[in-house]
Copies of this chain bind each other. A is one copy, B any other.
Amino acid sequence: MSLLHAAHTVEARLEEALAAEGLSLAKQGVLTLLVEAGEPLPLSELAARQSCVRSNITQLVDRLEADGLVKRIADPTDRRSILAQLTQTGRDRQAAGAQRLDTVQATFAASVARADRAALQRALAGFQ
């Protein structure tokens, strides 16, 4: 139960760090998927990988496109599908965001005693 409280605290700090780049965890998540893929991805593929609903991605990409971080392009192989393509700004911003996240993550990791780390991993894995 303190799990929810702890997660809320951690999430708030990560959001705060990303806000310095004009990003959010949701936006950074999509940008990172696109960077890792190395090519444009269909919106439905993004939804599947984020295990969320398609309409969520529609709106998220709306905002990413308004920010100039992503562009919608047609899928040559299927006219129903729409691909999300990173812009150069999007690529740069993702890298900056990842850097910010790493810093915060290191702070939290340091707060967990070495002896507790394995137990924490085990316990969290058990919740899946």
Contacts and interface: CB of A to CB of B under 8 A. Distances in A.
Contacts of A116: 119-120, 122-123
Contacts of A37: none
Give the one of A117, A120, A121 with max B CB within 10 A. A120
Interface residues of A, number: 29
Interface string A1-37: 1111111111100000000000000000000000000
Contacts of A127: 6, 9-10, 108, 111
B105 A1 contact: yes
Interface in A109-126: 111-113, 115-117, 119-126
Given A6-B124, A7-B8, 14 more contacts: A1-B105, A2-B121, A2-B124, A4-B7, A4-B10, A5-B124, A6-B127, A7-B7, A112-B126, A113-B122, A116-B119, A119-B119, A120-B120, A120-B123
